[in-house]
Amino acid sequence: MKDEKTTHFGYQDVPVSEKAGRVRQVFDSVANKYDLMNDLMSFGIHRLWKRQTIEMSGVRQGQRVLDLAAGTGDLSARFSGLVGNEGEVVFSDINAAMLSQGRDRMIDEGRVANVRYVQADAQYLPFPDDHFDCVTIGFGLRNVTDKQLALNAIFRVVKPGGRLLVLEFSKPVLQPLQKVYDLYSFTLLPKIGKLVTQDEESYRYLAESIRMHPDQETLKGMLEHAGFERCDYFNLTGGVVAIHRGYKV
């Protein structure tokens, strides 16, 4: 019997069959402090990154949107208001704990009529072909076991004329910023995680997963390989984060 293929979990090589379970454990651990940690980790700037994603999405009233790796629903909440009662937002996450946190938040905010919740793996989407006007995945693609498989699946469910937006940590384009970013990610970030969530290891993994994620040009090429056209990307905060966008023609 051949040895099982491996993939990266942060800086570790693990069997492909184990990665999803390990990622699930990370988010099970941090789900109830996820929003607080996002504010602390990014000094609140994540809200500006998400606002830019919304503005670039071009989502309009009556459209159907899939928000993958929706977390606690920052993007879904904004899309719910944009599509109105004639539209639909599918709030999706592979992790049950994150999905539950997000659903509770959306219900508390009164966003019920046009939002539905689906626990799904981005690699194997349970939706029809040519179904969504827009698909977003915010800070989730780097955790997917096979990113190309997920991008292929997303392309299948996007309508012709629709688009994908990937909001994700990326590679800083300024060398001095890279050094500061590394110091913060591998020294301060795990300590904040330990203080707030009593889980230093999960935030060490998150820092490592960012470093293992494809750079801007590589990810653009992956979108094109999936079939998306007119692909481009926009660096935010000096390339610490990038928004990639592609269209299905």
The Cα 13–Cα 115 span in angstroms is 37
pLDDT at residue 122, rounded to an integer:
97
For the chain, how many structural domains are there in total?
1
- Name the band, by pLDDT with cuts 50, 70 and 90, for residue 109: confident
- Name the band, by pLDDT with cuts 50, 70 and 90, for residue 1: very low
The Cα 237–Cα 180 span in angstroms is 13
Local structure of residue 3 (DSSP, 8 states): P
Whether residue 153 is contained in a domain is answered as yes
Task: Report percent pLDDT > 90 for the chain.
Answer: 61
Mean pLDDT calculated for residue range 146-159:
98
Other beta carbons within 10 Å of 40: 15
Whether residue 182 is contained in a domain is answered as no
Top mean-pLDDT range of 80-94, 165-179, 204-218? 80-94
Decide the pairing of beta strands 229-236 and 241-247. antiparallel
Q: What are the pLDDT digits (tens) for 31-56?
A: 666 676 677 777 789 999 999 999 99
Whether residue 181 is contained in a domain is answered as no
The Cα 20–Cα 9 span in angstroms is 9
**105 Cβ neighbours under 8 A, 6+ residues apart:** 72, 73, 77
Whether residue 227 is contained in a domain is answered as yes
Q: Is 145 annotated as a binding residue?
A: no
Does residue 118 or residue 202 have the better pLDDT? 118
Mean pLDDT calculated for residue range 132-156:
96
> Counting beta carbons within 10 angstroms of the beta carbon of residue 114, is it exposed (0 to 12), middle (13 to 18) or buried (19 or more)?
middle
Does residue 31 or residue 18 have the better pLDDT? 18
Full DSSP string of 192-209:
HHHHHHS-HHHHHHHHHH
Q: Is 122 annotated as a binding residue?
A: yes
Whether residue 187 is contained in a domain is answered as no
Model confidence at 137: pLDDT above 60? yes
Whether residue 146 is contained in a domain is answered as yes
Q: Tell me, what CATH number does 103's domain have?
A: 3.40.50.150
- Assigned token pair, 9: 């979990």
Whether residue 186 is contained in a domain is answered as no
The range of the structural domain enclosing residue 83 comes to: 28-173+205-247
Q: What are the pLDDT digits (tens) for 181-200?
A: 888 888 888 787 788 777 78
- Provide the Cα torsion 225, 118, 208, 12; round to 10°: -90
Whether residue 115 is contained in a domain is answered as yes
Closest alpha carbon to 90 in 200, 7, 193, 102: 102
Beta bridge partners of 102: none
